[in-house]
Amino acid sequence: MEHVPVSHLAEVPVVVVHDKLFSGTRWTDPITTGVLEVTSPATNAVVGRVAETTIEDVDEMISQARDSFESGIWRTTPPVERGAVIGRVADLIEERQAEICQILSDEMGTPPGTAAMIQVTPTLGVLRYYAGLGAGFPWTEVRHGDFGPSVVSRQPVGVVAAVTAWNVPLYLNAAKLGPALLSGSSVVLKPSSATPLSALWLADLFREAGLPEGVLSVVTGPSAVGDHLVSHPEIDKISFTGSTEVGKHIAGIAAQNLKRCSLELGGKSAAIILEDADVAGNAGSIVFSALMNSGQACVSQNRILAPRSRYDEVVKALVETVQLMPVGDPAAEGTVFGPLANHKQKASVEGYIRKGVEEGATIAYGGGQVEGLPDAVAGGAFVQPTVFTDVDNSMTIAQEEIFGPVMQVIAYDTVDEAVQIANDSEFGLAGAIYSADPDAALAVAQRVRTGTMGINWYAFDPTAPFGGFKNSGLGRENGTEGLEAYCELQSVLMPFGWEPSSD
């Protein structure tokens, strides 16, 4: 995809400029000349400008999505062929990985190597999974019951409003577009206004891969146009990833209009270290799972539950591991932690650190300003990774989602107490158990009220359902369950004695 600078938008050099909207799988002129600026949280420099979507533009995008759906141009395409388009997008991403990693680094401050690991790799996995599922999914089946045979088919849900967060934008967008498009639905995607560049880049790959006109649009605008999108009467399904507060707002809109709705929301997950765990050998995994993406991950397991008998050992191992992970310029080789997404998030995380101290927790490491930053990024939104000890699970830092590089180490005496502490949360999204006995760890994991768990590490697989209990959301992504979320079930009762044709 070529990014051609447009003189009337570019007063200073920028990485990417889009003066057109991605509307109906085409680049089109916007109604107004409004511009959305994208700023690097590392350098505070403008790294992109995109045309701002108005409510009138959104109406046109939804109209194109509805027309494309009703025409059948995509939904009547055989699922295997729909999957092939998705597979071609994965191939294009792999070919252009360096390009997208740089875009992600520019718009959200993540080091390119981190972007490759936590965004590109899972994006390729989820897209290729759904590409292959086109042939293996039970789109139609025959069930024999008391009243004869019924043909049960899975039909596309219709026009989807997909709304995503800023923390891992490439993956979040792909995790919605893969199953939604495989179902045969048309999609209007609303990425965060902080990360539109990666969304437009990805959408253009779908155009290049052969997605028909009208099927996909990208809304680049503020929350007001997002509200208009999700409340529009022509939207059949809302799929949202973001904060629990906004998720509740969207759920209310969906309930008023009886729209199908999936919500992937926040978390405050726990990593339980059992007595027999290899603490030294697992310290890297524990820290990575707690602080990945500078702690800006809904699945972050930043509540570290340590047996009291090994508490000091656990704290020492975690601090020593964090000390080996450089914080700084995302463009510099070896940087592990870049800045947070913006200065508002930085201020929020620093507020939580102060709150932890006020409520009696002890800072074992971090808690201050990042020192020694080069001049180019000295004003960036950096927060020093912080490890708290002497934490009670009732403290604010142990109950609220911080969304920053802050770990809380909590002592427990028995496994029953560890499970109780892990479950003492309004969230239930992720978690991990560390033990020398995987079977024993599995038994503990199944007592924790959370949607995903790992044993001696954490990841989520594209073949397995992902989502949360309690305030962590509604519904599931990934796996066949993720595709089912974009399907409507239709049952057709056939006459007695009917058998399906062999065609």
Please indicate, yes or no, whether residues 277 and 145 belong to a single structural domain of this protein.
Answer: no
Residue 78 has pLDDT above 70, yes or no: yes
What is residue 3's predicted lDDT score, i.e. its pLDDT? 40
Residue 491 contacts residue 480 (beta carbons within 8 Å): no
Residue 14 has pLDDT above 70, yes or no: no
For the chain, the C-alpha Rg in angstroms (whole number) is 24
pTM of the model: 0.95
Dihedral angle, C-alpha 175, 177, 183, 186, nearest 10 °: 150
Residue 501 lies in a domain: no
CA dist 430 and 449 (Å) reads 9
Residues 6+ apart with CB under 8 A from 99: 201
Residue 469 lies in a domain: no
What is residue 222's predicted lDDT score, i.e. its pLDDT? 86
Helix (H, G, I), strand (E, B) or coil at 182: helix
Please indicate, yes or no, whether residues 249 and 338 belong to a single structural domain of this protein.
Answer: no
Residue 275 has pLDDT above 70, yes or no: yes
Label the pairing between strands 260-264 and 237-241: parallel
Say which amino acid occupies 119: Q
Secondary structure tally for the chain: helices H, strands E? 16, 23
Please indicate, yes or no, whether residues 415 and 481 belong to a single structural domain of this protein.
Answer: no
Please indicate, yes or no, whether residues 361 and 429 belong to a single structural domain of this protein.
Answer: yes
CA dist 498 and 404 (Å) reads 60
Residue 55 contacts residue 228 (beta carbons within 8 Å): yes
Residues 6+ apart with CB under 8 A from 331: 42, 105, 111, 112
The answer to whether residue 298 is catalytic is yes
How confident is the model over 22-61, as pLDDT tens digits? 999 999 999 988 999 999 999 999 999 999 999 999 999 9
Q: Which of 294, 300, 227, 237 is nearest to 266 (CA)?
A: 300
Residue 440 lies in a domain: yes
Out of 52, 60, 107, 298, the active site residue is: 298
Residue 2 lies in a domain: no
Residue 10 has pLDDT above 80, yes or no: no
Please indicate, yes or no, whether residues 456 and 481 belong to a single structural domain of this protein.
Answer: no
The secondary structure of 313-364 as a DSSP string is: HHHHHHHHHHHTS-BS-TTSTT--B---SSHHHHHHHHHHHHHHHHTT-EEE
**Within 10 Å of residue 117's Cβ, how many Cβ atoms?**
16
Structural domains of the chain, count: 2
Residue 498 lies in a domain: no
Which residue range is the domain that position 311 belongs to?
Answer: 270-462
Residue 328 lies in a domain: yes
The answer to whether residue 101 is catalytic is no
Out of 264, 350, 477, 484, the active site residue is: 264
Residue 16 has pLDDT above 70, yes or no: yes
Give the CATH number for residue 351: 3.40.309.10
What is residue 8's predicted lDDT score, i.e. its pLDDT? 35
Residue 45 lies in a domain: yes
Q: Which of 310, 326, 305, 322 is nearest to 365 (CA)?
A: 322
Please indicate, yes or no, whether residues 240 and 369 belong to a single structural domain of this protein.
Answer: no
What is residue 12's predicted lDDT score, i.e. its pLDDT? 43
Residue 437 lies in a domain: yes
How confident is the model over 237-246, as pLDDT tens digits? 999 999 999 9
Please indicate, yes or no, whether residues 220 and 275 belong to a single structural domain of this protein.
Answer: no
Please indicate, yes or no, whether residues 235 and 321 belong to a single structural domain of this protein.
Answer: no
How confident is the model over 172-197, as pLDDT tens digits? 999 999 999 999 999 999 999 999 99
What is residue 503's predicted lDDT score, i.e. its pLDDT? 58
Residue 6 has pLDDT above 60, yes or no: no
Please indicate, yes or no, whether residues 276 and 258 belong to a single structural domain of this protein.
Answer: no
Please indicate, yes or no, whether residues 260 and 279 belong to a single structural domain of this protein.
Answer: no
Give the CATH number for residue 207: 3.40.605.10
Residue 392 has pLDDT above 80, yes or no: yes
Residue 265 has pLDDT above 80, yes or no: yes
How confident is the model over 114-173, as pLDDT tens digits? 999 999 999 999 999 999 999 999 999 999 999 999 999 999 999 999 999 999 999 999
Please indicate, yes or no, whether residues 396 and 378 belong to a single structural domain of this protein.
Answer: yes
Please indicate, yes or no, whether residues 214 and 167 belong to a single structural domain of this protein.
Answer: yes
What is residue 465's predicted lDDT score, i.e. its pLDDT? 98
Q: Mean pLDDT across the chain, nearest whole number?
A: 95
CA dist 60 and 64 (Å) reads 6
Residue 7 has pLDDT above 70, yes or no: no
Residue 398 has pLDDT above 80, yes or no: yes
How confident is the model over 295-327, as pLDDT tens digits? 999 999 999 999 999 999 999 999 999 999 999
